[in-house]
């Protein structure tokens, strides 16, 4: 599954709250391949290679949990992703259908 997602990093790998200055929303082109969610920055082209920075942003979704962020009301269509190493991301999808589709795909791999 592919598509644009806007990401906010809420907690780092120790589960500690991500510090100010690193909590802003950023747009990525997301590519879910197997157990890895690749987050590609910049303009999307199908033939584009993943940069070193893109690889650093990649997230393992093995033993992760995605759920609708019903307590987050500042933006619509936002879901949480909690990873096995206790990182927490918020992802904003372009619409409700896309949000649900990402949640289902992430939780059923």
CA of residue 100 relative to chain centroid, distance = 13
Q: According to the binding rule CB under 6 A, does residue 16 interact with ligand I3P? A: no
b/e for 7-27, b at 16 or more Cβ within 10 A? bbbbbeeeeeeeeeeeeeeee
- Name the residue whose CB lies closest to ligand I3P: 24
Q: According to the binding rule CB under 6 A, does residue 6 interact with ligand I3P? A: no
Q: According to the binding rule CB under 6 A, does residue 56 interact with ligand I3P? A: no
Q: According to the binding rule CB under 6 A, does residue 70 interact with ligand I3P? A: no
| CA neighbor of 99 nearest in space, from 68, 70, 58 | 68
Which among 23-31, 44-52, 60-68, 96-104 is the span making contact with ligand I3P, rule CB under 6 A? 23-31
CB of 22 to ligand I3P, least distance (A): 5
- Asked whether the beta carbons of 99 and 93 are under 8 A apart, the reply is yes
Which spans of this chain sit near ligand I3P (rule: CB under 6 A)?
20-25, 74
């Amino acid at each position: 599954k592919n598509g644009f997602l806007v990401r906010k990093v809420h907690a780092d790998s120790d589960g500690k709250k991500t510090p100010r200055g690193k909590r802003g929303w950023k747009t990525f082109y997301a590519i879910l391949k197997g157990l890895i969610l690749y987050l590609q920055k910049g303009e999307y082209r199908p033939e584009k290679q993943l940069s070193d920075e893109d690889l650093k942003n990649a997230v393992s979704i093995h033993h992760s949990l995605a759920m609708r962020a019903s307590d987050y009301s500042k933006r619509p269509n936002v879901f949480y992703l909690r990873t096995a190493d206790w990182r927490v991301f918020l992802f904003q999808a372009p619409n409700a259908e896309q949000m649900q589709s990402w949640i289902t795909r992430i939780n059923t791999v």
